[in-house]
């Protein structure tokens, strides 16, 4: 499967725990974007990364949230000390960097904080 992969698909965490969401971009893509979606709402941009670099993190909360895209391995969105308001679907998308308007999305990770 050469599409965007995300895991886990569902994640349940208690308040105060850490959540780690993984994303492997489409083969040949080195540009990764993370979005958050609340029920009945559109997707909200969080962060844009290229290999080993954060390019734009203007949509990411300043505290508890971090993202990385190492030279080897998937991109990881990390949420520390989760709160109930973090419950949402988190989508990863990738592109080849030449057409940012055409992004390929993964199936998402549904995070539930209890």
Partner 1 sequence: GQSLEQPSEVTAVEGAIVQINCTYQTSGFYGLSWYQQHDGGAPTFLSYNALDGLEETGRFSSFLSRSDSYGYLLLQELQMKDSASYFCAVPSGSARQLTFGSGTQLTVLP
Cα–Cα distance measured from residue 95 to residue 28, given in angstroms and rounded to the nearest whole number: 9
- Token readout for 81 is 């000390």
Which is nearest to 72 in space by CA: 105, 14, 111, 30? Answer: 30
Cα–Cα distance measured from residue 114 to residue 15, given in angstroms and rounded to the nearest whole number: 6
- The half-sphere exposure of 3 on its side-chain side, counting CA atoms within 13 A, is 10
- The minimum distance between CB 102 and partner 1, in angstroms, equals 5
Q: Which is nearer to partner 1, 18 or 56 (CB)?
A: 56
Q: Which is nearer to partner 1, 49 or 79 (CB)?
A: 49
For residue 6, the cross-strand partners are: 23
Q: Which is nearer to partner 1, 72 or 99 (CB)?
A: 99
Q: Which is nearer to partner 1, 43 or 76 (CB)?
A: 43
- The minimum distance between CB 52 and partner 1, in angstroms, equals 17
Contact residues toward partner 1 (CB under 8 A) are 4, 33, 35, 37, 40-45, 48, 55-56, 58-59, 89, 91, 93, 99-108
């Amino acid at each position: 499967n050469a599409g965007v992969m995300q895991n886990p698909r569902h994640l349940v965490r208690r308040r105060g725990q850490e959540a780690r969401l993984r994303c492997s971009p489409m083969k040949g893509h080195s540009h990764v974007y993370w979005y958050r979606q609340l029920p009945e709402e559109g997707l909200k941009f969080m962060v844009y990364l290229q290999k080993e670099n954060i390019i734009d993190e203007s949509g990411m909360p300043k505290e508890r949230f971090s993202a990385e895209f190492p030279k080897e391995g998937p991109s990881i969105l990390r949420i520390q000390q989760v709160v109930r308001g973090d419950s949402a679907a988190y989508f990863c998308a990738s592109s080849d960097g030449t057409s940012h308007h055409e992004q390929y999305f993964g199936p998402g990770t549904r995070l539930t904080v209890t």
